[in-house]
Amino acid sequence: MSTSLSASTALIREKVNLVLVPVTLTDAANRLVTGLNPTNFQLYESKRPQKVKYLSRVDAPISVGVILDVSGSMGTKIKKLGRRW
């Protein structure tokens, strides 16, 4: 992080007792890892360990897109797909 600021940038410094750090843990196969507690984490700020005081589990929204090939050669397959929906 650069310590120089432009003349039009205001510098704000505040001391805080709690910072939210959203994370998602996955294993080597990209599967969601669940059932963890604060002792399973190590969090550092400027190479100094920070205490994990709270750990919450929340559902987060996702966006999903579906792309269908509706060209002439796919006509019969699209009809089959329509029956499944």
Q: For the segment 24-80, what is each residue's pLDDT rounded down to a tens digit? A: 888 999 998 888 888 888 889 899 998 888 888 887 787 888 887 878 887 777 777
Q: How buried is 41 (Cβ within 10 angstroms: 0-12 exposed, 13-18 middle, 19+ buried)?
A: middle
Under 8 Å between Cβ of 25 and 43: no
Q: How far apart are CA 12 and CA 33, in angstroms?
A: 36
Q: Cβ atoms within 10 A of the Cβ of 43, count?
A: 13
Q: Using a cut of 0.85, tell me whether the model's pTM lies above it.
A: no
Q: Given a cut of 80, is residue 15 above it in pLDDT?
A: yes
